[in-house]
Amino acid sequence: ETAIPMYEQFVKKLELESGRPVRTGEFGADMKVSLLNDGPVTILIDSQTRE
């Protein structure tokens, strides 16, 4: 009950800070995204096994 308003507030803050629109999908839905890892290290966190 509080997650969606918090999410919407976060998106608005991102838009204000960046001066650009932020595209969103349906909250909590599976989304397809593309990603470019550009740095000296990439850290993967597995929240299922807590490692």
Task: Check residue 18 and give its pLDDT.
Answer: 94
Tokens 């969103």, residue located = 24
CA atoms within 13 A on the CB side of 11: 13
- Encode pLDDT of 1-51 as tens digits: 888 899 899 999 999 999 999 988 887 788 788 888 777 887 777 777 665
- Burial label for 11, CB within 10 Å (0-12, 13-18, 19+), is middle
Looking at residue 22, its pLDDT comes to 93
